[in-house]
Every structure is written in C-alpha cells, then in structure tokens.
Structure 1
Amino acid sequence: MATTITEQLAVQTLKLNDSSSDLAFFEPFSLPSTNQRILTAPHPEDTVIPLALRPATAEQPTLDAAISTVKSLQTQHDGYLTKKLATHGALLFRNLPIHSADDFSRFAHAFGYSPHEIIGIVVDRPLLAPNVAPANEAPKEVLIYNHNESPQVPHAPEYIFFYSHKAPAKGSGGETPISSSLELFNRANREIPEFIDQLATKGVLSQVTYKVDKQYEGGSTLRQAFGKEIVEGDDLETRKRKIEDQIKRYGRGKHTSWKWEDSDQTLVVTHHLPAIRTQQSTNLPTLFTGLAAYYNNSQANNTGKRKNVTQVLFGDGTPIPEKYLIHLVKITDDIRVLHHWEQGDILVFDNVIAQHGRQPWTGDQKDRVVLASLFDAESVPGNYGYGDWAQVVQALS
C-alpha cells in the first residue's frame, strides 16, 4: 500500500516554481499503511490521511526558511496549506528544525490563523510559549479515543497543531489516532441513518461538571475553566459572577444553562449543541463529536481513578442508546490510522473534519511529550440541524 500511496502523491508536490526564490519547499512522502490510508467518500478519489510533507532538499532547511515558505504558501499561493487541510483533514510535517515550544509556536503562527481562546477548559493546559501548551497530561495508562477538539462546549477551534517534543520508544504505544469526521458521517448515515436523523433533529445535550479542585490527574479546575477575571480578594459572589460572565460569552442564550451545587464548589454547565456541522468550503456534513470517545473512554478507563466529567444525551434529554455508540466506535476503528511519532513531528488537523486521540503507552510518563496550539478560522462551521440551537458561533470578546 505504501508504494501505491507514493505514486498517487507524486503529482501533489508543493515545490515552488519560482526559481529565483531561496525558500525551502516541501514534498509529499509515503508512510506505512498503519499510519496512512486512502480515504473513502465523500473525500476526492485517492485522498490520503494524513498528507505527509518534508523538505525536498537534501540539507535540512533553517527554521526561518521553513516559516517563510509556509507564509508564502498561505499568502501568495491562496491559502495553499489551508486548502490541503480542507481536503486531507490532517497534514504531517517531518524533518524540520523544530526543537522547542518556541520553535513550534513560530511555525504554527506562520499559517496566519488567529489564536483560539479556550473557554470552559476541561484539561490542564499551562502556557509554555505563545499559544502553546501540553496537549494532555492525563496519566499514560489513560486512553483518549478519537474525537474532535472541544465538542462538549460551543466554542471550539478550527485548527489544531501538535508537536512531538519527545517521542516514546517504538512499540511502546503513545500513538495519535487520526480519522475523518466526513467519512464518519458518511458511514454512519448509511449504516445507522435513524441515529443521524435523531442527531439532526434533536442535537445533543452536553453536561459538563467543573469543580473548585481538579477532578482527575491532568484535569482542570473551575478557575482554569472560567476564572480568567478572578483576582485574589474576590468574595464568593464576585467569583461566581465573574465565572457566569465567562459562560455568557458563549452567546448561546437559552441553549446554555448552569447550576451551582455542593455549596458552590461544583458548577454544572449544560449546552444544547449540534453534533453534525458542515465544512465551510464544501458544505459537506461532518460528525463533530466526542460521542464514541465518551463511550470508549469510559469502558477502557473504568478503574475508578478517571472520572468522566462530561455526559452527553440527545437534545431532548433522553439517553443515547448504547448500540449507536458501539456502532460509532466500530466505524471509527475501521477508518482510523495510528500516527507513530518521531521526535520533531508536527501534525496539523482541520478540527472540523478530522478527529484525533491518544493511545496509552508503557514506560515513563515523560517518555511522550506532545505540545498543542489551537487556532480559529475566519468563519465557523455551518449548521445542519433544524433549530436555532444548531447554529455555531464564535465566543463574544
């Protein structure tokens, strides 16, 4: 399969034709079939995920040259890399001189996207460089199954960058799963159409629980989630008001509600959200969700140490039958590949149409260090459902 993929990608070279330019350039290359596959409908024929790119020159380019090339491809070549993302869902960049969080930040910002402000964070993400934080610091034994980023809240990023600062030894696990949300919708619409109809008609209720103290290793606190305006000396009522003001920034009106519990030590926020959205450039429906992840994570991590802080129901409050969740997992297992990290790799996801996750690994927790950077697009995904709850909006500034 790898040879076939190489032949198919030969015509997709990114080499710049400007002979006077000293910019570095990229070329596609093949990955093992466990790490790269040809996508099915509705993707164009012979489209692979991820599209793997590396410098075409024998010598490794400088970081400045790589950044200049990315900027040129984006500004002078009509958003070339953004269009590749919209087709493939994920891009892999390899053999670039990126060795630190700052290097990674510079490269990610070269794409020209606006940094994403996380509101209602559910994992601990301390800032390491401009718009760069750990991807997820949950214990290495914890499975994080395929999902779109931030499906449990109204305000999600459109683009996600991951950088492997340290890669686990080969065969020890720690891979990042990659799959297409467009393909997931297409398969589910064929195989369980009644489920898709219910999602389109009802949407989902996402109930997220936040606590003053973090609920599990790698999780966030209530202040990390909504407390950016809180200062030392604020009394309880002031802290609550500032937290509620952040929730109101979602701009969802009656479709987002909240309640305080446990003597104001716990906050439960409920969102009525679309699980089906449409890709901006094609209007194709995409299953933007963590439904399979919520189910599979709860099964795999059922040790009592990892608490699932998000509960998802149909939008009318009725439970989602387990058979549909099991079927989503089956489809996802069929269509995903596992990215085996090499140190310095950068994976870029179009979060609207591609899902990611994290496999457990053996060895030490610090054997795998992956950093993340999140960005917004100029426009948000379109709506697919039948109610005003299906509209996707940017958070209010």
Structure 2
Amino acid sequence: MTTSIATHKVQHLKLVSGSSSPLVFESFDLPSTNQRTLGAPHQPKTVIPLALRPSTHGDQVADLDAVVNSIKSLQSQDGILTKKLSQHGTLLFRGLPIHDANDFSKFAHAFGYQPHEIIGIVVNRPLLAPNVAPANEAPKDVLIYSHNESPQVPHAPEYIFFYGHRAPSIGGESPISSSLELFHRAKEEMPEFIEELAQKGILSRVTYKTETQYAGGSTLKQAFGKDIQDGDDEASRRRKVEAQIRRYGRDEHTTWEWTDQGNTLILTHHLPAIRTQPTTNLPTLFTGLAAYYRNFVNAANSARRNVTRQLYGDGTPIPEQYLKKLAEITESIRVLHKWERGDVLVYDNVIAQHGRQPWEGEQEDRVVMASLWDGVVPGGFQGSEGSWANVVQASAG
C-alpha cells in the first residue's frame, strides 16, 4: 500500500492510501471558548487546539484498526503529528472509535513514543490498561489549575494523552494554553521575575506520607515503593525508597529528609522553570507556579497547600504579585475544552498546560483517562547557569 500526506491551508491532514476507502483526518473549527489563535511567539493563524476528526468515503465507519494504522502511517512520514503538536501545543481528536481504556491504549501507542514511568507521583493513578490510568480522582469540586505535568519533580513526560470516557453536562472542562506564549507574556510584563527565575530556578519541596494527604492523592509507597515487599523492615523500606529517588540522577540538586519516625519524607528539588522547545529552541515556562498560587489562596484546596512548596532556587519566597500576575496571564490565554464522549486531547507537555474545572452532578459523571509518554528531552535555558538547570530523564529501574 502506498501512502502520501497532503497539508492544506486550512490545516487538513489527509492520508491517501491504495485502498478503496482511504481514511482522512480533517481539521474543523471549535467555538471560541474552546479554541483560540495563539499569540507570539507562535506563527500567525496558529490555533490551539488543532481539532481533527477521521472520515471515510461514503457511509463507511472508521474502525479502530484503520485509525491506528493511519496514525502509524502519518508518524512514519517524518513524524507529521509530532510536528503538528510542536506547532499547536495540543491536538483534539473527535469522532474516534474509542470506547474503553484498551481502545485508548492502542490509539496512544500508535504514535510511537516511549511510555513514561512516573517517579514520585503525587496523585493516585491505578493502571487501567497498558500505560493508561485515571487522569485525576480528586473530588469533583476541586479545581485543578493550569500547569505542565510534573513540574515539581525532575522527571516529567513530554507528551500527555487524555481520553474523555464520560462527560458531565455542566463543568468539568480541561484548560488548554501555551507555555511558550506564557513565557513571552511574562517576560514582557514581568521582566524582573523572568530574570530571577532564570538565574535562581525553583526550589520545589514535596512532602510524601505513608497515608493519603488529600482525596485523590498518593501515598509514599505509591510514589517510590514499587520494590517494597510485605514484611520489609523500616531500614529496607527506606533503602528501597531512596534507590528510587537516586534514579532522578540529580546528585546534590535533590535532597531528602525523613521525619515523623519514617512516616514522612520531604524531598527538595532545585529545578529549572524555564526550558526550551527541542524543535525551535524557544523558551517555555514549564511550571505549576500559577496552580501553586491558586491552591494557596483557595480555601477549598487547603488540604493540598502543604504538599508542595515553591520557592526561588536560593530558598527565598517568590513575591506574591508575580504569582498573582502569572495566574492572571494564564487565565487570559487559555481556552476551556468542553468534553464530548470519546474525545482525545494530546498535549505536548513541554509547551502546553492543562488542568481541570469542577463540575455539577455526580463524581462518576466525568471519567477522563490519561496516558503519559517520553520523547525528546527539552533543552536548558541560556540564561540559567549551573548543573541544576539541566533537564534529564530518570534512569531505568
């Protein structure tokens, strides 16, 4: 079978095959609340998200095998979908024949990325299918503010897939915004903040406990205890947890302290908050600082306040006016994705942020699954000096 790709002015992706019913991914417009034109430094007329849906000739319905094979074919031709991700930050696939976690897993695997292992997970994500887990099981009234995935730990995924298995009638949207645009705006409006962030980085202090600290949160064993066995004594448990921490490969830039008779572990990471997009070398604000600020001022999220603390890399507090302004910019450049059942959102985690809005109805009215993947590690920012500013992937465990 021969294939070719045609990219049209309206951002259509078209897969033409030798079969009688070629599958076509066509772009389509979304409401302005769900899609916007990105500002600098993005190219003019670039939208987020780029919305795509499959179609076939006549009345034929695209089956999952056809979709998976088409994704593989597109990716085999110079990674066309990965390039679209690096341009738009987020892709929406609608109308896919995906009905459960296993279907979603097959679709996500078709992109050819490497599964991401979360080390030091702060939320509970039980496995549902190969490299598929719940996105977040926090109560429905909890706002999860815009952030890049895993900015508080050294080892973060490059790509995130979300599948909407069940969508609420009111609320539950997923924010979508550009971290490239966020950096650009922050540098324009708060140049002194960006300069300090570049020079100092972030000191991220994350607390883990043997018991869950808030609904939907993880335990110490879930975060670092994959090798712990029933019957291990305290010394063995600590040794196995610390072995997982050392996989970060951060040397003196990740330190830890055991407290509360071994029931609490406090990790301190010195991390870069400014990184660069691999394909363009553009600076991106890879952060959860706005989410950290919103959690701190939101009484409903008070249980999450003390789990993670964010400071400048030298240990000094970040002035509140910077955090507040960062949150305001984030809100001004985001859209809220209104889920339809079967939607799949794919984020380039290096340059795009996500979150979760509260919803009305029952907890089970919204079911979103996640799949995390590794890709090309983002580069360091030229204005950040020192080994703490290096971005790394953890060693295999």
2:249 aligns to what SS in structure 1?
A: coil
Taking the aligned partners of 1:217 and 1:223, their CA distance within structure 2 comes to 16
Q: How does 1:265-304 map to 2 (within 5 A)?
A: 265-302=263-300, 304=302
Q: How big is the shift at 1:387?
A: 1.4
Taking the aligned partners of 2:113 and 2:157, their CA distance within structure 1 comes to 11
Partner of 1:68: 69
Per-residue CA deviation, residues 83-134 of structure 1 (Å, 9 max, x unaligned), is 0000000000000110000000000000000000000000000000000000
Partner of 2:345: 347
The answer to which of 385-394 and 271-280 deviates more is: 385-394
Matched to 1:137, the amino acid is: E
Per-residue CA deviation, residues 198-229 of structure 1 (Å, 9 max, x unaligned), is 01000000000000001011000000000011
Taking the aligned partners of 2:273 and 2:26, their CA distance within structure 1 comes to 35
CA contact (8 A) 1:139 1:365 kept: yes
Taking the aligned partners of 2:218 and 2:365, their CA distance within structure 1 comes to 22
CA contact (8 A) 2:16 2:23 kept: no
Taking the aligned partners of 1:343 and 1:52, their CA distance within structure 2 comes to 15
Per-residue CA deviation, residues 27-67 of structure 1 (Å, 9 max, x unaligned), is 00000000000001111110000000001335430010000
Partner of 2:3: none
Taking the aligned partners of 1:278 and 1:314, their CA distance within structure 2 comes to 19
Q: How big is the shift at 1:17?
A: 3.7
1:168 maps to 2:168: yes
Matched to 2:61, the amino acid is: Q
- Give the direction of change, closer, same or farther, for the CA distance of 1:305–1:320 in structure 2 (3 Å limit): closer
Taking the aligned partners of 1:341 and 1:155, their CA distance within structure 2 comes to 29
CA contact (8 A) 2:247 2:395 kept: yes
CA contact (8 A) 1:208 1:270 kept: yes
Matched to 1:26, the amino acid is: F
Partner of 1:15: 14
Runs of 5+ consecutive residues of structure 2 not aligned to the other structure: 1-6
Taking the aligned partners of 2:273 and 2:302, their CA distance within structure 1 comes to 28
Taking the aligned partners of 2:243 and 2:140, their CA distance within structure 1 comes to 35
Q: How big is the shift at 1:164?
A: 0.3
Taking the aligned partners of 2:316 and 2:293, their CA distance within structure 1 comes to 16
1:263 aligns to what SS in structure 2?
A: helix
Q: How big is the shift at 1:306?
A: 4.3
Taking the aligned partners of 2:30 and 2:102, their CA distance within structure 1 comes to 27
2:123 aligns to what SS in structure 1?
A: coil
Q: What is the number of residues matched between the two proteins?
A: 386
When the two chains are superposed, the root-mean-square deviation of aligned CA atoms in Å is 1.4
Partner of 1:386: 385
2:324 aligns to what SS in structure 1?
A: helix
Q: How does 1:247-258 map to 2 (within 5 A)?
A: 247-258=245-256
Per-residue CA deviation, residues 148-195 of structure 1 (Å, 9 max, x unaligned), is 0000000000000000000001xx100000000000000000000000
CA contact (8 A) 1:10 1:28 kept: no
- Give the direction of change, closer, same or farther, for the CA distance of 1:114–1:23 in structure 2 (3 Å limit): farther
Quick one: percent identity of the two aligned structures?
Answer: 68
Taking the aligned partners of 2:207 and 2:380, their CA distance within structure 1 comes to 26
1:11 aligns to what SS in structure 2?
A: coil
CA contact (8 A) 1:159 1:376 kept: yes
2:255 aligns to what SS in structure 1?
A: strand
**Correspondent of 2:374 among 376, 381, 389:** 376
Q: How does 1:17-96 map to 2 (within 5 A)?
A: 17-20=16-19, 22-57=21-56, 59-75=60-76, 77-96=77-96
Taking the aligned partners of 1:301 and 1:343, their CA distance within structure 2 comes to 32
CA contact (8 A) 1:143 1:301 kept: no
Q: How big is the shift at 1:301?
A: 4.2
CA contact (8 A) 1:25 1:66 kept: no
Runs of 5+ consecutive residues of structure 1 not aligned to the other structure: 1-7
- Give the direction of change, closer, same or farther, for the CA distance of 1:116–1:61 in structure 2 (3 Å limit): same
CA contact (8 A) 1:180 1:354 kept: yes
1:217 aligns to what SS in structure 2?
A: coil
> Structure 2-normalised TM-score?
0.95
Taking the aligned partners of 1:356 and 1:304, their CA distance within structure 2 comes to 21
- Give the direction of change, closer, same or farther, for the CA distance of 1:9–1:51 in structure 2 (3 Å limit): farther
The answer to which of 383-392 and 220-229 deviates more is: 383-392
Taking the aligned partners of 1:133 and 1:82, their CA distance within structure 2 comes to 22
